[in-house]
Structure 1
Amino acid sequence: MAADKAIGPIRRSFAPWNDPKARPFIEFRNVTKRFGDFTAVDHLSLGIYEREFFALLGPSGCGKTTLMRMIAGFEEPTEGHVLLDGQDLVGVPPYRRPTNMMFQSYALFPHMSVWDNIAFGLKQDKMPKPEIAARVEEMLALVKLGPFARRKPHQLSGGQKQRVALARSLAKKPKVLLLDEPLGALDKKLREETQFELTDLQMKLGMTFIIVTHDQEEAMTVADRIAVMDHGKIVQVATPAEIYELPNSRYVADFIGDINLIEGRLAPAAGNGARLECAGTGATVETSQPVEAAPGSEAWFAIRPEKVTIGLEPPADPTKNALKGTVWDIGYLGDVSIYHVRLATGATVKATIANRTRLVERPITWEDEVWLSWSRDGGVVLTR
């Protein structure tokens, strides 16, 4: 299902959320959803744009699937409004909404062939038989399953079943495709391949895709923007790069990828940057990032392990943005090795080294005394 042309230039230029004149295609306006005494979605407002691949990311029970089900019409908001292309969806039944949903289980009919599974919704809509045949053949070609048209689901691999479910969801040409953990049943390698196929397909069709997932890498790979959720609220909405490099809170920083969170207090700093004195690690952190908080305020310095340099020799200035410790443990992950360095204070900081050559002998190994260091713009200061 690979695209005929590279989609990178298109994805780089696609950013309607930065255009003050652009109107969201899907809007949640102060939406709350309660199930008895439990609040699944709490006074949430959100805009999703046409042709956007949008990800709802968060742990189980955070409200992401409830949001998607309100778009599909399987749930109605307790308060607030959900709009699609300017139309209020409250009271509109699922079968009258220009949406379709692909479930994690795929929900294929086991007694029907691939062809008939794809055609099922079209037959329910009483589409003329010649049009059904043409549409099914179009979908089979789209997902590269033409030779498997007469097979039953039990004769297919997991990846092929996933493509059948995708083709069936797309057959009715909805304006919005809702994907509820669509790749969860696939093995890791196939899941990674399918992620790129999904983005290629979404760009080719020019449709709005919304995916619910708890897999950070999946959201980072497929989405134009990600909404990170927690307890029914959206904590941050941004592009994958912004979510990873510029998290707005400890929750987002800790949820996305691996991170070192170093607690400290803000100290007076020269210039526009920030300075933290971190008693727990003994570090003095200086950044180029301005922080709107008074000296003495509690703050955290968040830095990714791959942005921490590890070496046997001290850096040029060991008094700031540097720490000394002992290698406590090493994790070999194939492409990288992650070092857990124990400091004199008892705290542990992680650093990553790319394995650029075949691993015969480690230049840095267990119980070595090492220095950790980072640049002024290597991390971000968080105040919440």
Structure 2
Amino acid sequence: MAKTLGPVKRKFSPWDDPGAKPYIRFENVTKRFGDFTAVDDLSLDIYEREFFSLLGPSGCGKTTLMRMLAGFEEPTSGRILLDGKDLAGVPPYRRPVNMMFQSYALFPHMTVEGNIAFGLKQDGLPKPDIDARVKEMLKLVKLERFAQRKPHQLSGGQRQRVALARSLAKRPKVLLLDEPLGALDKKLREETQFELMDIQYELGLTFLIVTHDQEEAMTMSDRIAVMDLGKLVQVAPPAEIYELPNSRYVADFIGDINLIEGKIASAEGNRLRLACDGIGTSIEAEASGSGAAGETAWFAVRPEKVRISHDPPPEGTVNVLSGEVWDIGYLGDVSVYRVKLPNGAIVKSTLANVTRLVERPIGWDDKVYLTWPRDAGIVLTR
């Protein structure tokens, strides 16, 4: 198991309990469309009350996996179980799951109240129960004042809330969200992420979300499954995915990173030295014991862990590079520096803008020094 990440580790972690039973289980599930394999012999456990994200590029199989759980697609082989029951042959309307689509799919001729009540009426609930449930949902998504409005009279964020309320009104055991925030602007999307987290915690439901937005997955999830070509590449909590990626694919896909190729020159205990022709020097790193001398490996270090300075570091400092500032990206809270080394390689560093005025700003073409400690990055062999 990967090393502990200290205070960032969440208290809710049933996946670490050998006695915990998964609520949703995919067992060797494969889905083919003709000659194309969308999901390839995939096994995955998701636990009750978990906020779980399927993350990956377009075409990686994440939406197909969700649609099979919803019942809109049947697996070519393998089993899907929910609360211990095999879902094979169970039609979508008989599954205790509900799906919220990216397009919201609201009825334009119905009011907000009518949209939320629609599924309850289809199920034949008594009118007093429907009215009480609709009122409860309106309060939950803070739309009481908009109950009599039509969808075209609402903002994008309000329509998203109506769709969420309608999905939750039938009290599903699992809520499936397919790119639910894709149509919202950045500020509203960020606000809605925290609202979804609060609602999921308050209701105690299991949420499964499909997204290609890394920040969205990192913010909301208890765990993330990174997918590629129909397979799971890594399944772990957000901090572990970010700090301890298991491959170059995950390291490169999640956030920004410097990936430096080299050959293992020496490995003693937890110390490792990489000879890196690409940056013209060697790197000292901490390693978990994987990799042997002469083997190709990659050192992955996040830009925020690379210190940048005009001043040369003290003598004896490990992992020192020097170069010239090639590009600067000002993002408000941080500045991103792309530093060009003498051999032409580019290494990125970020610097927090903690004060409004900087006495010695780092500018274009400045000569700078980049440093990082041995434990700032991770050595990857695949």
Please give the range of the TM-score, normalised by the shorter of the 2 chains: over 0.9
- For residues 294-347 of structure 1, what are the alpha-carbon distances to aligned partners after superposition, in whole Å with 9 as ceiling and x for unaligned? 100000000000000011222224673111111111111111111110011110
Distance of 2:304 and 2:220 partners within structure 1 = 22
Larger deviation, residues 216-225 vs 312-321: 312-321
CA contact (8 A) 2:176 2:208 kept: yes
Query: In structure 1, what is the equivalent of residue 3 of structure 2?
Result: none
Report Cα offsets for 1:34-92 as digits up to 9, x if no partner: 00010000000000000000000000000000000011000000010000000001110
- Equivalent position amino acid for 2:185 in 1: D
- 1:325 and 1:291 map into 2 onto residues whose CA distance is 32
Structure 1 CA distance, aligned partners of 2:271 and 2:32? 44
Match in the other structure for 1:44: 42
* Structure 2 stretches lacking a partner, 5+ long: 1-6
Q: Which amino acid in the other structure matches residue 123 of structure 2?
A: D
1:166 aligns with 2:147: no
Shift of 1:269: 3.3
Counterpart AA for 1:321? N
TM-score by length of 1: 0.96
CA distance, structure 2, for counterparts of residue 131 and residue 282 of structure 1: 71
Residue matched to 2:79: 81
Residue 354 of structure 2 is aligned with which of 339, 353, 356?
A: 356
> How many residues are treated as equivalent by the alignment?
376
Tell me whether 1:201 sits opposite 2:199 in the alignment.
yes
Report the alpha carbon displacement of residue 132 of structure 1 after superposing the two structures with TM. 0.6
Question: What letter matches 1:344 in structure 2?
Answer: P
Alignment of 1:1-384 (within 5 A): 12-317=10-315, 320-359=318-357, 363-384=361-382
In 2, the alpha carbon distance for the partners of 1:98 and 1:355 equals 48
Alpha-carbon contact 2:267-2:292 (below 8 Å) kept: no
8 Å contact kept, 2:286–2:378:
no
1:342-377 deviation line (CA, Å, top 9, x unaligned): 011110000001111124665221111111000111
Secondary structure of the structure 1 residue equivalent to 2:263: strand
Aligned partner letter, 1:19: D
The answer to whether the Cα contact below 8 Å between 1:282 and 1:323 also exists between their aligned partners in 2 is: no
1:43 is paired with a residue whose SS is: strand
2:60 partner letter: C
In the TM superposition, residue 170 of structure 1 has moved relative to its aligned partner by 0.2
Deviates more, 1:351-360 or 1:258-267: 351-360
SS for the counterpart of 2:376 is coil
Whether the aligned pair in 2 keeps the contact of 1:284 and 1:320 (CA below 8 Å) is no
> Cα RMSD between the aligned structures?
1.4
Residue 12 of structure 1, CA deviation: 2.6
5+ long unaligned stretches in structure 1:
1-8
Whole-angstrom distance in 2 between the partners of 1:88 and 1:322:
56
**Is the 1:179–1:210 contact (alpha carbons within 8 Å) kept by the matching residues of 2?**
yes
Distance 1:289 1:159 in 2: 46
State the Cα distance separating 1:137 from its structure 2 match: 0.6
Indicate the residue corresponding to 1:3 in structure 2: none
Please give the secondary structure, in 1, of the residue aligned with 2:73: coil
2:26–2:45 CA contact under 8 A, matched in 1 = yes
- Contact 2:269/2:289 (CA < 8 Å) preserved in 1? no
Whether the 8 Å contact between 1:291 and 1:381 is mirrored in structure 2 is: no
Contact 1:283–1:320 (CA under 8 A) maintained in structure 2: no
Q: 1:166 to 1:87 in 2, by over 3 A?
A: same
Alpha-carbon shift at residue 271 of structure 1 (Å): 3.3
Distance 1:94 1:68 in 2: 12
What are the superposed Cα offsets for residues 278-301 of structure 1, whole Å, 9 maximum, x if unpaired? 011023211122231110000000
Q: Take 2:273 and 2:141, find their aligned partners in 1: how far apart are those partners? A: 53
Q: 1:359 to 1:135 in 2, by over 3 A?
A: same
Q: Distance in 1 between matches of 2:71 and 2:126?
A: 27
What TM-score do the two structures reach when normalised by structure 2?
0.96
For the 8 Å contact 1:284–1:319, the answer to whether it is kept is no
Instruction: Indicate how the Cα distance of structure 1 residues 34 and 317 shifts in structure 2: closer, same or farther if over 3 A, else same.
Output: farther
* Alpha-carbon separation, structure 1, partners of 2:242 and 2:360: 29
Preserved contact between residue 318 and residue 374 of structure 2 (Cα < 8 Å): no
Equivalent position amino acid for 2:266 in 1: P
2: CA distance, partners of 1:286 / 1:111: 65
